[in-house]
Amino acid sequence: MAKGGFRGMPGGMNQAAMMKQVQKMQQDMMRMQEELENKTYTASAGGGVVKAEVNGKNEIVSLAIDPEAVDPDDVEMLQDMVIAAVNEALRNAEADKANNMSRMTGGLNLGGLF
């Protein structure tokens, strides 16, 4: 390898410059990950009678159930609506994370590193 650079690197980028760029990308990714963990994502089911909110850590932050949705003779339907709302909120969080990661890495697939 030639001193001060990598053969075939565009613009003759040297190792120090590449390491600096990698460190900046790591800092940006950590900042983005922290921002995403602090965001909340909301979804509803059953026409809005069940609402779930999750954070970027995939934790349920709140769950709201309209009293009209509570039918003692059909608890299974309420359970299904809760599951549907929570799962949709989690999907929203994952989609936002994937979108932000794709923007950060320029569309590179880093194999689930984050």
Handedness of CA 109, 106, 55, 50 (dihedral sign): negative
34 found inside a domain: no
In a domain, residue 16? The reply is no
Residue 50 lies in a domain: yes
Please tell me the predicted confidence (pLDDT) of residue 60: 94
101 is written with which tokens? 């990661």
The answer to whether residue 70 is domain-embedded is yes
Structure tokens at 105: 């890495």
Q: pTM of the entire structure?
A: 0.67
- Burial status of residue 109 (CB atoms within 10 A of its CB: 0-12, 13-18, 19 or more): exposed
- Residue 67 in any domain: the answer is yes
The domain in which residue 86 lies consists of 41-103
How far is it, in rounded angstroms, from Cα 63 to Cα 84?
Answer: 12
Domain count, the chain: 1
Question: Residue 76 belongs to a domain with what CATH number?
Answer: 3.30.1310.10
One pLDDT digit (tens) per residue for the chain, 114 residues:
455 555 555 555 688 888 888 888 888 888 988 888 899 999 999 999 999 999 999 999 999 999 988 888 999 999 999 999 999 999 999 999 888 888 877 766 555 554
Domain contains 35: no
Residue 94 located in a structural domain: yes
Q: Is residue 84 situated within a structural domain?
A: yes
d(CA 93, CA 36): 8
